[in-house]
Amino acid sequence: MSKSAELAALIRARAGDAPPQLGLILGSGLGHLAEEVQGVAIPYSDLPGFPHAGVSGHNPKLVIGQLEGVRVAVFGGRVHYYEHGNPAEMRLPLEILRELGCGQLLLTNAAGSLRADIGPGDLMLLNDHIAFAGANPLIGEPSDARFVPLTEAHDAEIRAGLSAAAKAEGVALPEGVYCWFSGPSFETPAEIRAAKILGADAVGMSTVPEVILARFLGLRVAAVSVVTNMGAGLSAENISHEHTKAMAPVGAAKLERVLRRYLRNL
Ligand code: HPA
């Protein structure tokens, strides 16, 4: 049995057989949403071989249960490329989601904005991305399935559903391009200017490997950024992980409203 099949069986034994309709990966400072799900929480440490999210501000457990009447699988934290240098670290969790019969994935992250009209506390819906970190989670994958088309990687239908939900909630949800930097150091002002010239609207240290892996695995995927700061050099504010964790809840409250409405509409 494959590792993902083994872990999916373990998860089903604890949380029940019904397939989750939506998988949700929570970014830095957004782990609180995992507490809102009525269901079974499984610490990552109970899932042998499961990558441990070692970043403060994450909530390292998988919660499977109901949110707004929809069965969801919520990952309270993710592993980042910058933790071990392996961009494929989230492959097993996403394989497990597929194994559980989950069809769609929503990724969330904390990000820096490059746009004057999107500020700290605002949300941005990704309509495309730039893998500026240069790594790819499918390097070493031997099958021809590795040649994944990413022309429409960010699912149009999920995006439309999220936009409608945001509109109904009166929450601004502009679309934009997310540029993936490896981190863990923040960007320099010159890198932020470069990213802007390349066509980016926001920058962050996650999400892109998971979008690529999700498409490889045939999961429909979309992603929302919670903006915690302006990109380096664009404002006088201090950029730090502490600041990210302090600011994330502002946008997280909006994200939760949008997500709850999206689920009710499913
Ligand atoms: N850059 C990269 N990642 C981030 C930022 C940023 O400015 N803010 C929150 N996560």
Ligand 1 pocket check for 244: Cβ under 6 Å:
yes
Ligand 1 pocket check for 108: Cβ under 6 Å:
no
The per-residue pLDDT for 136 is 98
* Beta-carbon contacts of residue 174 (< 8 Å; ≥ 6 apart): 115, 117, 118, 122, 123, 124, 125, 201
The per-residue pLDDT for 246 is 84
Q: What is the CA radius of gyration of the chain?
A: 17
Alpha helices of the chain — where are they, by DSSP H? 3-15, 81-84, 91-99, 156-169, 189-198, 208-217, 241-265
Q: Looking at the 3D structure of the chain, how many domains does it have?
A: 1
Give the catalytic positions in this structure: 28, 58, 80, 82-83, 110, 205-206, 229, 241
* Among 191, 205, 208, residue to substitute to test ligand 1 (most atoms within 8 Å of Cβ): 205
- For the CA of 109, the nearest atom of ligand 1: 10
Beta bridge pairs of residue 75: 25, 62
- Give the single-character DSSP code of 5: H
Digit-by-digit pLDDT tens for the chain (266 residues) are: 899 999 999 999 999 999 999 999 998 778 888 889 999 999 998 999 888 766 666 678 999 999 999 999 999 888 999 999 999 999 999 999 999 999 999 999 999 999 999 999 999 999 999 999 999 999 999 999 999 999 999 999 999 999 999 999 999 999 999 999 999 999 999 999 999 999 999 999 999 999 999 999 999 999 999 999 999 999 988 888 888 888 888 899 999 999 999 999 99
Q: Are 181 and 191 in contact (CB under 8 A)?
A: yes
Ligand 1 pocket check for 179: Cβ under 6 Å:
no
Cα dihedral sign, 10-16-18-23: negative
Nearest CA to ligand 1 atom 6: 112
Distance 186 CA to ligand 1 centre (A): 6
- The CATH code of the domain that includes 178 is 3.40.50.1580
Pick from 22, 258, 24, 19: which is nearest to 161 by CA? 258
Domain of residue 159 covers 3-265
The per-residue pLDDT for 33 is 85
- For the CA of 231, the nearest atom of ligand 1: 7
* Beta-carbon contacts of residue 244 (< 8 Å; ≥ 6 apart): 28, 29, 57, 110, 228, 229
* Among 192, 228, 234, residue to substitute to test ligand 1 (most atoms within 8 Å of Cβ): 228
Distance 236 CA to ligand 1 centre (A): 15
